Structure 1
Amino acid sequence: MASTTSGDVLPTGGRIFTSIPDVFFIPEFVFGGLVWILVASTRVYLANPLGWVMFVSVFCFVVTTLWFFIFLCGANQGSIWPSLDVGYHFVAVVFYLSAAVDLAYITILTSQTVTVVGFLKIYRLDIAAVVMSYVATLLYFLHTIFSAIRWKSS
């Protein structure tokens, strides 16, 4: 991977595809989008916290997209951007971890109704969404750690 210590602190343009932690943008899009799609394709019941999961997945997807384009266009060259990078990704980790725990809890509760016809498909979608949300949490966590290392070295 290319180093980002050649003058500017944060990479711009095509260099974001070759620098750590910015290489995590694309997997964050993919797994965050999968959480969004999988949760949107299930049934929502009245006392169900899937609204929080949808908020987190949509919020992180939109903000990560904006963040990606800011980095791609090179508008991230101020001295505040490395700390903002760490801060946003830390918030995303906390949000995604709370959403993943809520989603796992709902999946455990719905596992008791799997015997009813039609619930097996929803249960499988919920399991896939739980796995994808924990993978998204891990990706955002790795991005936070590497962004913090880059911030401290700048």
Structure 2
Amino acid sequence: MAAATQMSSLPSGLAICTTAPDILYLPELVFGGLVWTLVASTLVSPANPQGWVMFVSVFCFVMTLLWLILFACGVHKNSSAWAAADFIYHLIAVVFYLSASVILAYVTINMKVFSAVNNYYQIDISAVVFSHIATLLYFIHCILSAMRWKSF
């Protein structure tokens, strides 16, 4: 029963570093930043799919940082509307990152198949792995945010 009570309140301040869904903000920022950095450092041969991956990684990085700052400052005032907004944002982030991860994996596979010498292949593989980890983190955060929103 204590876990349900803890899930029904939105933390603020340093408490966001100790609660179940909100502790995932920092790993989301780290892995999202890694995806952003790795994709930016490679050769962008098919510009359109890689552009989508860059948009998703930068957008989610900036929005997650803003969301973290808003929760840390206590702007939410412990309302169910903020819990719903948290769930909706993470749902959008999951859909965006899933699409970007699949596109990035597809482009990386094609780069290996169609080019005999590709100096960026290991960097692209790392970006694919970190992109899938970021997708998983956003998915877990989305599920935990939905549970918190429903407990309000």
Asked if 1:136 corresponds to 2:134, the answer is yes
Residue of structure 2 aligned with 1:146, choices 136, 140, 144: 144
Give, as a single letter, the amino acid of the residue that structure 1 aligns with 2:29.
F
**1:17, 1:5 → 2: CA distance?**
17
1:1-154 mapped onto 2 (5 Å cutoff) = 5=5, 9-46=9-46, 48-77=48-77, 78-116=79-117, 119=118, 121-154=119-152
The C-alpha deviation readout for 1:23-70, integer Å capped at 9, x for no partner, is 000000000000000000001124541000000000000000000000
Give, as a single letter, the amino acid of the residue that structure 1 aligns with 2:106.
Y
Q: CA RMSD of the aligned region, Å? A: 1.9
Cα offset for 1:100? Answer: 0.2
The alpha-carbon distance between structure 1 residues 55 and 47, as it changes in their structure 2 partners (threshold 3 A), is: closer
Greater helix share, 1 or 2? 2
The alpha-carbon distance between structure 1 residues 111 and 70, as it changes in their structure 2 partners (threshold 3 A), is: same
Residues paired across the two proteins, number:
150
Structure 1: unaligned runs, 5 residues or longer = none
Could you tell me whether the CA contact under 8 Å between 1:20 and 1:146 is conserved in 2? Answer: yes
**1:96, 1:37 → 2: CA distance?**
15
Could you tell me whether the CA contact under 8 Å between 1:114 and 1:123 is conserved in 2? Answer: no
Could you tell me whether the CA contact under 8 Å between 1:13 and 1:73 is conserved in 2? Answer: yes
Give, as a single letter, the amino acid of the residue that structure 2 aligns with 1:137.
T
Moved more, 75-84 or 41-50: 41-50
Could you tell me whether the CA contact under 8 Å between 1:110 and 1:123 is conserved in 2? Answer: yes
**2:47, 2:70 → 1: CA distance?**
38
Could you tell me whether the CA contact under 8 Å between 1:48 and 1:106 is conserved in 2? Answer: no
Structure 2: unaligned runs, 5 residues or longer = none
Cα offset for 1:76? Answer: 1.2
Could you tell me whether the CA contact under 8 Å between 1:103 and 1:130 is conserved in 2? Answer: yes
The alpha-carbon distance between structure 1 residues 3 and 93, as it changes in their structure 2 partners (threshold 3 A), is: same
The C-alpha deviation readout for 1:76-131, integer Å capped at 9, x for no partner, is 12331000000000000000000000000000100124532xx1x30111100000
